[in-house]
Structure 1
Amino acid sequence: MKKNLWIIKNGYFAVMNADKPVIHGVMVIEGDQIRYVGEQLPSDLVIPEDVEVMDGKGLLFLPGLMNTHGHAAMSLLRGHGDDLALQVWLQEKMWPMEGKFTSKDVYWGTSLSVLEMLKGGTTTFLDMYDHMDQVAKVTDESGIRAVLMRGAIGLCPEDVQLAKLAEAVQFTKDWHGKADGRITTMMSPHAPYTCPPAFIEKFVQAAHDLDLPMHTHMSETAAEVQQNVNEYGLRPVAHLEKLGVFTRPTLVAHAVHLTDDEIETLARYNVSVSHNPGSNLKLASGVARVPDLLKAGVTVSLGTDGAASNNNLDMLEEMRLAALIHKGVSGDPTAVPALEALRLGTEYGAKSIGLENVTGLLRAGMKADFIAVNIDQPHYKPHTDLISHVIYSGAAQDVWHVWVDGKQVVKNRECLTLDEEKIMREAQACFDGLLAR
């Protein structure tokens, strides 16, 4: 028997085809890839008689969820400074505490987030932060897939700016393609309002030199947009365009406050948007124009942002919010249907971070990054439309099993790669230490 070949039978699989989004059938996994998904095994597919078989009864298998914007270590600040405006929250609550963070804090804060994400079905996350070697270490140890970058705020002397840029470059050289290929990297100036133009241009040049995509916060609040106009005479989209950011494959986070012309510009440059509905609602930043972005051909994915502004990392909740709030804002119940919401959290997520040929779909040839949701529960009955059920009724606690790169990392809601009790204990100790400093 080929030990790296196994089969899931008798399960429901979200293949997300327009005509038939869910099938009842079989999936074959070989090594780290999906070899076949269908209603029954094809006659020409040679399967050893003694191959390992998993019974998928009562389970809905989905592509692994993609969290395309966040700051994992900020889980240490969950609940610290809630119900505040963004700038007040940042300047009075977050930045003073983050200034005390050590590598140890980042390691345990990231571990706490990765544990939460894995148990909630997130198989890939994007992280923009400091002490990124610690984030990469947790990624390597946990088995999750990640897109990592040293986020850099440029409100500092030039020598400090250059040191941050050097750190960002060195991080990509040290970690891009590592952890069996599960880690990829980007270049990431924090935001137009926290980075002087010349600093952003240096990151653009580095991204060209390293052939990497770019990621930044953009147009999260109306005040931020107005500040950009006051300082540079341009709204953030035109400002970043002028600085050459969009000459690289780019993912922007938030993009809440956009004009029609700005949406057209993003579409023209193939700029992707990470929509963070939970965080944007909680900070009263506004509601991004997601239906308009999708109609214009912009790739829109979903992110939780950090747990300090969400306050959880539940991607099933983000998909539900994305499906609901745009109906309410637009008055159109068809604005973001359940299947489109699922695509935002999976297929479109992979595309937005340059992994569209790697993960995000249950399809032959893709990496075996997938999850199993327990649909043998009251809130999934009767089994009418399972995509509708998972979007409108589902929650992170419904995720029973998780695989990344063909390896099972969560089984029966227990994380197999991380010490849950130790992580929670150490994270609490880190927060207590931050308060005491």
Structure 2
Amino acid sequence: MTRLLIKQGTFVTIDEQFSVFQGWLAVENGQIAAMGEGEVPQRESESATEILDGSGLLFMPGLINTHGHAAMSLLRGMADDLVLQDWLQNHMWPTEAKFTGDDVYWGSALAAVEMIKSGTTTFVDMYDHMQRVAEVTETSGLRASLTRGVIGLCPEDVQKAKLEDAIRFAREWHGQANGRINVMISPHAPYTCPPDYILKFVEAAHELDLPMHTHMSETLAEVEQNVRDYGCRPVEHLDRLGMFSRPTLVAHAVHLNDEEIALLAERKVAVSHNPISNLKLASGVARVPDLLKAGVTVSLGTDGAASNNNLDLFQEMTTAALLHKGVSGDPTVVPAVEALRMATLYGARSLGLEGAVGQLKVGLKADIIAVNIAQAHFVPRTDYVSHLVYSGRGSDVVHVWVDGKQLLRDRQLTTLDEEKIMAEAELCYRRLRA
């Protein structure tokens, strides 16, 4: 039985109090089996079948990306510097309508390469042809919460077929890949799904006992449309439809008032904050300090690579920590330690995975990344949490494990053929644009 021993490393545990220590950690059966400060006990050295010298490395929980559309990696750079509705309706949706299952596979594989190499070990994905995304997840070794995103602006028979597809995907894939794949139920957004259609998704989520995920209040125009169409703002609208009777994760939540923040906190709705995508599309700045103060779980997402334009959660942490200082005029809001929690512990909490991932703790799954701190931008060794958030970047990641299986070793992927994936993704893009 394989027992990995990491010795002489620096470890960041990401618990509520936070702990940074020099020491060792052992992995067995996909879990963190033991850990401690200082020298390795003799019994640990004797029981190890593989030993990694952690000198010059910082070990921390893998990052958790709580909102994205992996296959949109194929559309990176295709239509930049546009407002959301123009970007979606005139560029993204027409091109995405041409996507085949193979396009989704290679686009998602390209995203998997990027995520692994920048330290993401768990991701949320909302898209079509989701069985192909699940195949990539299974092959790559990543952990994921996957969901068939459904836009309901279509005839009733098409709506029915899409809902059935979402339910079928959930039944087939929830709990697969040795438990690394979970499934959520996802009407795309209140402005793309009629109320009676959303009700059907809520019913399905109850029947399947699954959480829900949707886009919400991303732009002011969308909020105003919701008021015109339904007489209330999106938070109240979704609450009336019963969505928040299920564990729910909403993406963006940029335009909220005080009453909505209070209701999200009361209903225990989690928010995926996507600061770079929101800035690039000029959608606005979410009230993250107020959400956190109210007790709302706020995690981090990149959104798709077409609106970011990368999947580097280190960059997302930096932006989240800096953005809210700038707009509030208060340098104490979203400190580095909170930004790091948003990318790890709070991400796990928002996906119902707290107590499984998001921390370095004995008994939790061994979803671990190693960051090279033997570099100029990590010196002097004053505060490693500060360095990770304000100085770190995805390219600093040298090793990645999920469930104790190594997916990245010395910057080289172990489960995916990076060269082939990049070539196939380029061919997919050329066909889509032909």
TM tier, shorter chain?
over 0.9
Distance 1:242 1:41 in 2: 57
Any idea what SS the aligned residue of 1:418 has? coil
1:244 is matched with 242
Q: 1:301 is aligned with what amino acid? A: S
Q: 1:256 is aligned with what amino acid? A: V
TM-score by length of 2: 0.98
Q: Deviations over 1:120-150 (max 9, x none)?
A: 0000000000000000000000000000010
Distance 2:117 2:18 in 1: 28
Any idea what SS the aligned residue of 1:281 has? helix
Distance 1:398 1:411 in 2: 13
2:62 is matched with 64
Q: 1:73 is aligned with what amino acid? A: A
Deviating above 2 A after TM superposition, structure 1's stretches of 4 or more consecutive aligned residues are: 16-21, 40-52
Instruction: Report deviation, 1:38.
Output: 2.0
2:345 is matched with 347
Q: Deviations over 1:311-349 (max 9, x none)?
A: 000000000111000100111111011111000000000
Any idea what SS the aligned residue of 1:169 has? helix
2:256 is matched with 258
1:418 is matched with 416
2:137 is matched with 139
Q: Deviations over 1:202-224 (max 9, x none)?
A: 00000000000000000000000
Q: 1:252 is aligned with what amino acid? A: V
Counting aligned pairs with the same residue, the percent is 64
Any idea what SS the aligned residue of 2:165 has? helix
Contact 2:13/2:359, CA 8 A, preserved across alignment: yes
Instruction: Report deviation, 1:299.
Output: 0.3
Q: Deviations over 1:344-367 (max 9, x none)?
A: 000000110111121000001110
1:112 is matched with 110
Q: 2:230 is aligned with what amino acid? A: Y
Q: Deviations over 1:47-104 (max 9, x none)?
A: 6356422110000111000000000000000001100000000001100000000001
1:159 is aligned to 2:157: yes
1:185 is matched with 183
Instruction: Report deviation, 1:28.
Output: 1.1
Instruction: Report deviation, 1:271.
Output: 0.2
Structure 1 pair 42–98 and aligned structure 2 pair: CA distance change class (3 A):
same
Any idea what SS the aligned residue of 1:48 has? helix
Any idea what SS the aligned residue of 2:8 has? strand
Q: How does 1:310-389 map to 2 (within 5 A)?
A: 310-389=308-387
After the TM superposition, which of the residue ranges 22-31 and 9-18 deviates more from structure 2?
A: 9-18
Structure 1 pair 172–53 and aligned structure 2 pair: CA distance change class (3 A):
same
Distance 2:111 2:156 in 1: 33
Q: List gaps (5 residues or longer) in structure 2.
A: none
After the TM superposition, which of the residue ranges 19-28 and 345-354 deviates more from structure 2?
A: 19-28
2:427 is matched with 429
Any idea what SS the aligned residue of 2:215 has? strand
Q: List gaps (5 residues or longer) in structure 1.
A: none
Contact 2:58/2:371, CA 8 A, preserved across alignment: yes
Instruction: Report deviation, 1:42.
Output: 8.4
Contact 2:356/2:365, CA 8 A, preserved across alignment: yes
Distance 2:18 2:241 in 1: 44
Any idea what SS the aligned residue of 1:311 has? coil
Instruction: Report deviation, 1:16.
Output: 2.9
2:99 is matched with 101
Any idea what SS the aligned residue of 1:95 has? helix
Q: 2:183 is aligned with what amino acid? A: T
After the TM superposition, which of the residue ranges 47-56 and 23-32 deviates more from structure 2?
A: 47-56
1:292 is aligned to 2:295: no
Structure 1 pair 260–162 and aligned structure 2 pair: CA distance change class (3 A):
same
Contact 2:14/2:358, CA 8 A, preserved across alignment: no
Contact 2:249/2:270, CA 8 A, preserved across alignment: yes
Distance 1:17 1:165 in 2: 39
1:405 is matched with 403
Structure 1 pair 6–189 and aligned structure 2 pair: CA distance change class (3 A):
same
Structure 1 pair 9–292 and aligned structure 2 pair: CA distance change class (3 A):
same
2:275 is matched with 277
How many residues end up aligned between the 2 structures? Answer: 434
Distance 1:148 1:16 in 2: 25
Q: 1:74 is aligned with what amino acid? A: M
2:122 is matched with 124
Instruction: Report deviation, 1:45.
Output: 6.5
Any idea what SS the aligned residue of 1:320 has? helix
Contact 2:23/2:40, CA 8 A, preserved across alignment: no
Instruction: Report deviation, 1:20.
Output: 5.2
Distance 1:148 1:233 in 2: 32
Q: 1:350 is aligned with what amino acid? A: A
